[in-house]
Amino acid sequence: MKATATPLSAALVLTAAAVILLPGETSAAQTAADAPPPAVEDYTYPNADQVLTEHGLKVFRGDGRIVLDSSRTYEEDGQCPVGQIQVEKALAEAPYGIYYCFRTWGARGFLTLEVPGTFGLRGGDKPLQAKANLPDGESRTYEVDANEFVAVEPGTGTELPQAILVELRLPPTS
């Protein structure tokens, strides 16, 4: 019996030839399997461990629009530059306090962090909201105007401030 080529058999041969790969070539399926998983933004603060080690500041999550610029001691470095967010933390011993300075980008942003002993904030170049957990167990949100100071539960008598700053957000939401 003589084999005859039909349009269908010719298509099968061409299809089979298309999936044969030359050495060194990869299929789309193999390339996809070898590729890293797609990036999913979980807003984890990059280098949070390094920030904790170098500055004593716990940062958790943010959108990258509020970032730590520097930390300064009361005794040596002075306050943050005007236009940056300033968080004031009291310490029981020298240098007795730290200013944490944050830069901002854009009109919106958020950062979750933990700053025990917070007793004051200064807004950056735009208004912001700051949320703190207070010693009585309540949580309070502070509206901070641009380049203005706001007191955050400064403590009483010789007691150090007990408030814990937990969030910075711009712009303020109503």
Cis peptide before 171 (omega within 30 of 0): yes
CA distance 59 to 168: 11
Residue 26 reports pLDDT greater than 90: no
**Domain spans, the chain:** 48-170
Gap between the Cα atoms of 51 and 139, Å rounded? 25
Length in residues, the chain: 174
Query: What is the average pLDDT across 92-97?
Result: 90
Residue-wise pLDDT for 27-82, tens only, equals 555 545 555 555 555 678 878 899 989 999 999 999 999 999 999 998 888 899 99
**Are the C-beta atoms of residues 153 and 132 closer than 8 Å to each other?**
yes
Task: State the average pLDDT over residues 76-104.
Answer: 93
Displacement of CA 117 from its chain's centroid (Å): 21
Separation CA 3–CA 19 (nearest Å): 24
Residue among 144, 132, 133, 135 at smallest CA distance from 170:
144
d(CA 103, CA 146): 13
Rounded to whole angstroms, how far apart are CA atoms 167 and 102?
12
| SS3 per residue for 40-60 | CCCCECCCHHHHHHHHCCEEE
Alpha helices in the chain (DSSP H): 7-19, 28-34, 48-55
**Which pLDDT does position 155 carry in this prediction?**
77
pLDDT category of residue 23 using cuts at 50, 70 and 90? low
